[in-house]
Amino acid sequence: MADRINVGLVLPDVLGTYGDDGNALVLRQRARMRGLDAEIHRINYGDPVPETMDVYTMGGGEDTAQILASEHLIADGGLTRAAHAGAPILAICAGLQVLGESFRASGRIVDGVGLIDATTAGMQRRAIGEVASTPTRAGITAELTEPLTGFENHLGATILGPGATPLGKLTTGMGNADEAALLDVVDGSSQRAAEGAVQGNVIATYMHGPVLARNPQLADLLLACALGVQLSELEPLELPSVDRLRMERLA
188 has pLDDT over 80: no
Catalytically annotated residue among 72, 93, 154, 225: 93
Please check if 34 is assigned to a binding site.
no
Catalytically annotated residue among 72, 154, 208, 225: 208
Task: Tell me how many domains the chain contains.
Answer: 1
Mean pLDDT over residues 141-152, rounded?
97
Render pLDDT for 52-105 as a digit per residue (tens, 0 to 9): 999 999 999 899 999 999 999 999 999 999 999 999 999 999 999 999 999 999
**Averaged confidence pLDDT in the chain:** 93
CB of 9 closer than 8 Å to CB of 25? no
Mean pLDDT over residues 214-224, rounded?
97
Judged by average pLDDT, the poorest of 185-194, 208-217, 232-241 is 185-194
CB of 60 closer than 8 Å to CB of 95? yes
Among this protein's residues, is 225 annotated catalytic? no
* CATH code: domain of residue 193: 3.40.50.880
Give the integer Cα–Cα distance in Å for 52 and 79: 10
Give the integer Cα–Cα distance in Å for 167 and 102: 19
Q: What percent of the chain has pLDDT over 90?
A: 80
Among this protein's residues, is 208 annotated catalytic? yes
- Give the residue with greater pLDDT, 52 vs 238: 52
Question: pLDDT band for position 3 (50/70/90)?
Answer: confident
Task: List the one residue out of 198, 210, 62, 72 whose CA is nearest residue 135.
Answer: 198
> What residues make up the domain containing 133?
4-250
CB of 159 closer than 8 Å to CB of 189? no
CB of 11 closer than 8 Å to CB of 5? no
Give the integer Cα–Cα distance in Å for 97 and 113: 9
CB of 72 closer than 8 Å to CB of 111? no
Q: What percent of the chain has pLDDT over 70?
A: 95
